[in-house]
Amino acid sequence: MKRILLLSTLLLGVLTGALGADQRNLLQNAANQQQLKELLVPKSEWVPYPAYTDRTAWEALVGEAKPALIKNGEKLLKHNWPTVKATDYLALERTGNRKIMENIHYPNCKALATLVLAELAEGKGRFIDQIINGSFYLCEMTTWANSAHARSMQSTRTSVPIKDQHVLDLVACDTGSLMAWVAYFFGSEIEAISPIINERIRTEVKERIIEPYISRPEDFWWAGAKHYPNHSINNWNPWCNCNVLQCMLLLEEDPERLAEGVYRTMQSVDVYLNYVKEDGACEEGPAYWGHAAGKVYDYLSVLHLATAGNISFFDNKMVKNMGEYIARSYVGNNWVVNFADASAKNSAPVSLIHRYGSAVGSEEMCQMAAYVVALNGSTPQAEACKSGRDMWRRLEALRGLNSFAAATPAVPNYDFTWYPQTEFCYIRNGSIFLATKGGHNKESHNHNDIGTFSLYVDNSPVLIDAGVGTYTRQTFGKERYSIWTMQSGYHNLPTINGYSQKFGREQTARNTKADQQRKTFTTDIAGAYPAEAGINEWVRTISVKSNKVVVSEQFSLKEATAANQLHFLSWGEISTERRGIIDITTPEGKRVELHYNAKAFTPTVEVIPLTDPRLSNVWGPELKRLTLTATSLTKRGRYGIEIKVVK
């Protein structure tokens, strides 16, 4: 075991160096393995929830949420635990459709978590048989991983699960921690009914989660024990590690092995914390914040409890920055800044935002969470009763009900936010909210979008980033950049000399900077394009001035071989009837005029039908792409665009 951990330590160092990350190693510097063994407390002391049999304490904990929790469980008393068939797994290989398998497996996991909460709330044993049924069904599955992840991580690269070749992906780790909580809360009750099933639950978690995590960490790219060139460290790391940590703390009885396993998670999460920029921005966008920074918070919360507060990072500046990213990226009216694969609609769990904000002392996060709840006509109690397979989140939402209910609602109102390492810049000025980015084109969940921007008027999107469609085999395969949402030409970016941006870590912004005084963002995007484009420089400067946004393109080419084009993706109607002025009106009634040099450009408008529900549920049936095509070829020059708000 010690040899494995030493090897993992060495590989973690290699990986950190390979990623060019800062070797902060916050967690490992807080305690070594021997110190950790002394700090870890028994689960009966660190678990912050009452024992199942302590009915008075559970009544106090669930409070007004009790009737809804029980009602949700009652709907599942006849749930028949549908089976994931072989053809459901094969659908990924045959058609690229991963949802067929997921739409069976995920609801089963959510059902089990909901039944657990119903029984904890009621305490009469009425839901125990269904909890046993759900747990036994999961024990009988060959894998807890989804088909897409099984295919990418199994040795055969097939979506059909291989017996005893356990894959640790997001879903398997979520399921493992859910089963560990079943064993913790109801072990005695299940033992009285069937000792075989009780032992089976515990054994399956150990064999599927704990053992492979400790014995073969190099098999899992997210763990950081080996460098995988085609994978960036991302939200998988804290997400999986948080669940593995819970499995170990709840089920591992050997103190030596427990300390080794927990320390291994600390080493692994350090890889992610070393990768994250000091500014704390989430390069994957707000939709992934809940399972990136949010899962770091969950992990740190569990570790904090398990060490009686002796390992704590809630006063760390970077950890606070990571949390406040979600508040600073919140535009208003449920719209958020959505670079990469993120959706433009807020999806971050509000109870998580509040708990994180409370832990790091961020009033803005707490106020934002309360605002979103009020805006949506919800309550903290209703939010705590929402379905999901994440048992820790659902339990914590209940534990934080009282403090959440006391929070004051308010929209975060930052005039200027600059993330100098990640190269995101947000500028709010009157009715205008502008979001811009530099960065590189191998960010996690990357789109080829260096230098793009999004424009919001009165907290409503006007010039947008579409986001991403439903995940399929193609989304994370070699065909990714054949999908239009990933291409620079369908962002608010130029096509230069006939070329679009290229994927790769070497495709990077240059000399990116932001000026708070002048409300200006500047970056040279030449490096985002392939060498064949022949670009010496293309300096894009975007400024906010009173009621308008000014976009300036200063460029130099080796040769001019094709007409340059400026693209703008819009949510709304576009009229090109007026010479030199494009009129844009959004479904929410926001209007802007895009002023351009009519002698220098010819405008065209493309209608983009949205047949994918993941896009149409946000934007409706279609988007429009405005393209300004240069009327002449030139090696050097400057283009100027003004976007004025119309009141």
The 10 Å CB-count burial string (b at 16+, else e) for 455-481 is: bbbbbbbbbbbbbbbebbbebbeeeeb
The 10 Å CB-count burial string (b at 16+, else e) for 268-300 is: bbbbbbbbbbebbbbbbbbbbbbbbbbbbbbbb
Whether 85 is covered by a domain: the verdict is: no
Which residues face 625 on adjacent strands?
569, 606
Do 380 and 404 touch, CB atoms closer than 8 A? yes
Look at the block and give the residue holding tokens 């591992």: 252
pLDDT in tens, 585-635: 999 999 999 999 999 999 999 999 999 999 999 999 999 999 999 999 999
Residue 350 CA to residue 647 CA, distance in Å, equals 33
pLDDT in tens, 217-232: 999 999 999 888 878 8
For residues 340 and 372, membership in a common domain is answered with yes
For residues 289 and 327, membership in a common domain is answered with yes
Helix (H) or strand (E) holding 344: none
Do 437 and 543 touch, CB atoms closer than 8 A? no
Whether 134 is covered by a domain: the verdict is: no
Residue 440 CA to residue 626 CA, distance in Å, equals 25
Whether 605 is covered by a domain: the verdict is: yes
Which residue, 250, 245, 164, is CA-closest to 202? Answer: 250
Coil, strand or helix: which one is 359? helix
Predicted local confidence at residue 341, as pLDDT: 84
Predicted local confidence at residue 239, as pLDDT: 97
Residue 421 CA to residue 460 CA, distance in Å, equals 27
For residues 489 and 596, membership in a common domain is answered with yes
Which of 398, 413, 428 is a domain's end point? 413
Angle at 297 between CA 291 and CA 298, to 5 degrees: 75
C-alpha pair distances (Å), 41 with each of 37, 146, 180, 246, 307: 9, 34, 17, 13, 6
For residues 354 and 441, membership in a common domain is answered with no
Residue 342 CA to residue 454 CA, distance in Å, equals 13
Angle at 326 between CA 286 and CA 642, to 5 degrees: 75
The 10 Å CB-count burial string (b at 16+, else e) for 110-131 is: bbbbbbbbbbbbbeeeebbebb
**Could you give the residue ranges of the DSSP H alpha helices within 509-590?**
none
Neighbouring CB atoms inside 10 A of 505's CB total: 14
For residues 409 and 465, membership in a common domain is answered with no
Residue 358 CA to residue 355 CA, distance in Å, equals 5
Whether 56 is covered by a domain: the verdict is: no
Predicted local confidence at residue 475, as pLDDT: 84
Helix (H) or strand (E) holding 370: helix 363-375
For residues 508 and 407, membership in a common domain is answered with no
- Rounded to a whole number of angstroms, the distance between the first and last alpha carbons of the chain is 68
Which of 365, 381, 413 is a domain's end point? 413
Residue 115 CA to residue 112 CA, distance in Å, equals 5
Domain assignment of residue 392, given as a range:
278-413
Which of 381, 413, 445 is a domain's end point? 413
User: What global pTM score does this model have?
Assistant: 0.92
Structure tokens at 475: 């989304």
For residues 345 and 462, membership in a common domain is answered with no
**Could you give the residue ranges of the DSSP H alpha helices within 96-169?**
99-122, 128-140, 147-153
Specify the long-range contacts of residues 522-528, CB closer than 8 Å, at least 24 apart. 523/423, 523/436, 523/438, 523/450, 523/451, 525/450, 525/451, 525/493, 525/494, 525/501, 527/450, 528/441, 528/448, 528/450, 528/451, 528/488, 528/501, 528/502
3-state secondary structure 602-620: EEEEEEEECCCHHHHHHHC
Q: Extract the residue ranges of the chain whose pLDDT is less than 70.
A: 1-21
Which residue, 485, 591, 498, 597, is CA-closest to 547? Answer: 591
Predicted local confidence at residue 7, as pLDDT: 41
Q: What is the dihedral of CA 239, 242, 247, 252, to 10 degrees?
A: 140
Q: What are the residues whose beta carbons fall under 8 Å from the beta carbon of 455, sequence distance 6 or more?
A: 432, 433, 434, 461, 462, 463, 549, 592, 643
For residues 426 and 560, membership in a common domain is answered with yes
Whether 86 is covered by a domain: the verdict is: no
For residues 456 and 600, membership in a common domain is answered with yes
For residues 482 and 579, membership in a common domain is answered with yes
Burial of 204 (0-12, 13-18, 19+ CB in 10 A): buried
C-alpha pair distances (Å), 208 with each of 89, 145, 156, 159: 19, 10, 18, 18
For residues 299 and 406, membership in a common domain is answered with yes
**In which region does residue 467 sit, left (phi positive, over 0), alpha (psi from -120 to 50) or beta (all else)?**
left
Structure tokens at 393: 């989140």
Instruction: Give φ, ψ of 498 to 5 degrees.
Output: 90, 5
Do 119 and 127 touch, CB atoms closer than 8 A? yes
Whether 531 is covered by a domain: the verdict is: yes
Angle at 388 between CA 386 and CA 390, to 5 degrees: 125
Whether 66 is covered by a domain: the verdict is: no
SS3 content of the chain, % helix, strand, coil (to 5): 45, 20, 35
The 10 Å CB-count burial string (b at 16+, else e) for 186-201 is: bbebbeeeeeeebebb
Structure tokens at 151: 């295919």
The CATH code of the domain that includes 487 is 2.70.98.70
Whether 155 is covered by a domain: the verdict is: no
For residues 434 and 296, membership in a common domain is answered with no
Handedness of CA 228, 230, 233, 238 (dihedral sign): negative
Domain count of the chain?
Answer: 2
Residue 635 CA to residue 644 CA, distance in Å, equals 29
Structure letter (DSSP) for residue 477:
S
